Amino acid sequence: MSEAAPGIGERAAALRLTFDRSFAEPLRLASETVEDLLAIRIGTQAYALRLAEVAGLFADRKVTPVPGGDAALIGIAGFRGAIVPVYGLHTLLGIASGPRRCRWLVIAAAAPVALAFETFDAQLGVPPDAILPAQAGGETQSCVREFVRTPKCSSPVIHLPSVLDAIKSRRGQAA
């Protein structure tokens, strides 16, 4: 039988003690929380959406046009066995010149509604202090309540529950 090298037993005891103490210490959470956002573009304007308000992000979905009087309603599309209305985010925000082609769609978490926009740039994780309240005024004020500042840009954050409220009011006016 071979003898253990000097100090191995002491080292093993120290490792065992460190291991046992790690279970006695309180769980350390990340020192900084982050807000998850989707960076998007409508035309040339950059915007952001809170990831918590989005149920899904899809590209190149077939949207079937439907007749109707609402200019924001692009059509309908199928998602996970459900048919949902697809609205142009540019029209809902009051942007005059809409995109040529809305390649991207998000499904709102609060309602089965898809919102179309032109470009998805990135998913962002920003500290909470990077999101600032929007100043009063502006035609999109009802749907934009905050701005996010990143080292690369500053973008309005679209408040999806307000967009859904705007869709409900448009439906009520059409009826």
Query: How do the domains of the chain map onto residue ranges?
Result: 35-174
Q: What percent of the chain has pLDDT over 70?
A: 85
The pLDDT, as a whole number, for residue 3 is 58
Per DSSP, 51 falls in state G
Q: Cα 48 to the chain's mean position, in Å? A: 7
Which pTM was predicted?
0.75
Phi, psi of 133 (to 5 degrees): -65, 145
Nearest one of 156, 144, 148 to 34, comparing CA atoms: 148
Mean pLDDT, residues 45-49 taken together: 93
Q: What percent of the chain has pLDDT over 90?
A: 49
In CATH terms, the fold of domain 35-174 is: OB fold (Dihydrolipoamide Acetyltransferase, E2P) (2.40.50)
Across the strands, what pairs with 39? 48, 122
Q: What per-residue string of b and e applies to 115-134 under the rule 16 or more CB within 10 Å gives b?
A: bbbbebeeebeeeeebbeee
pLDDT digits (tens, 9 = 90+) for 64-84: 999 877 888 999 999 888 999
